Amino acid sequence: RWSLALPLQDGEIFPSPSGQMGFFRTAFSVRWFERVGRRYQIRCTRRGFYPFGPVRLRSGDIWGLFRQDQVQGNLDWLIVYPQVLPLEALGFPPKEPLGETKATWRIFEDPSRAVGIRDLRPEDGFRRIHWKASARRQELQVKVFEPTTSKNLVVFLNVATFERYWEGTRPLLLEKAIAVAASIASHGVEDRFLVGLMANGSIPHSDQPIKVLPSRRPDQLARVLEALAAVTSFTTSTLEALLLAESPRLPWGATLVVVTALVTEDLLSALVRLHDVGRRLVLVSLEDEPSCPYSVPPEILVYHLPASELPFDESLLGEPGEWEPEVAPPLRFAGGGE
């Protein structure tokens, strides 16, 4: 069995009643103890997960008197990643495209990760006081937070291409946004960031947003690219809602990169709120013409990369096919963490 969405350059796929899967048939003659190998080229024009297998073998003699059938192998998957280009080719500056990173190497405390308590000191702020521990010990105690020197980068992808979800989607614009997110994630891994991904889109047959937390795993880039290969245009929430809900759970000092084809006043307000509490932010807008003034503090890096000028190969930006509900691929990005 073979996915109809993956045409072979030197072979023919015959359709089947299932609609999404077809049959690839080939015949050849072999002699005793002979081994035959064939190679076929596939042009992967659309990102996504594409199933193939198992293999059904049928053999017989030259007179047609004897025949034997056998099924070998299991269902397997070919994963086609989004296009990835160097950030400089997309219009980012060649040096530190995501902002100054030297400061993130210093040791600082992550307020989302408390590791203990200690006595209050004169330099401690009021917000650090651990009131329950202070009541137990009858003297003021403050929280001790975990120190960290890791560089964290989290890409927030907006799959919405219209302000109201019922207006539909612009497929080519969405594919370009996904490719930009993939390029930023790839650059982050090369630049030794711990990279994560958040998207307000879901995988097929799901209504949950995609979340891949920053991690030191050696296969982290593959996990992020697989998530981007699977994401659909189904919007689970607005991007500003996802930003405000997930940012408290992310490492302090992480750079949050927002990739969106649509910039709204609500999104800009959310960015300002996160900036006011000390978050490092980068806004990447793919709007051809800004829908509103990008009124944000100067500390928030803003890149305006018109989608119509991005150098992606549009022949490779087709909409991905969805897998059948009863046959889901193994997803490595389900979950996250270090």
User: What DSSP line would sit under 17-84, residue for residue?
Assistant: TTSSEEEE-------TT--------B---B-EEEEE--EEEEEE-TTS--EEEEEES--EEEEEPPP-
Q: What does the alpha-carbon distance between residue 286 and residue 193 come to, in Å, rounded to a whole number?
A: 24
Region 231-245 average pLDDT: 96
Is residue 292 within 8 Å of residue 268, measured between CB atoms? yes
106 pLDDT tier (thresholds 50, 70, 90): very low
Residue 22 pLDDT > 90, yes or no?
no
149 pLDDT tier (thresholds 50, 70, 90): low
What's the pTM? Answer: 0.81
What pLDDT is stored for residue 335 in this prediction?
A: 45
* Residue type at 34 in one-letter notation: E
Would you say the C-alpha torsion 260, 266, 271, 277 has a positive or negative sign? Answer: negative
Joined together, the tokens standing for residue 33 give: 């103890």
Q: What does the alpha-carbon distance between residue 64 and residue 67 come to, in Å, rounded to a whole number?
A: 7
Neighbours of 38 (CB within 10 A): 8
Number of H helices, E strands in the chain: 6, 15
333 pLDDT tier (thresholds 50, 70, 90): confident
Residue 36 pLDDT > 60, yes or no?
yes
Region 297-320 average pLDDT: 94
102 pLDDT tier (thresholds 50, 70, 90): low
What pLDDT is stored for residue 205 in this prediction?
A: 86
Domains, the chain, ranges and CATH?
A: 2-80 (no CATH), 87-103+149-316 (3.40.50), 109-148 (no CATH)
* Residue type at 177 in one-letter notation: A
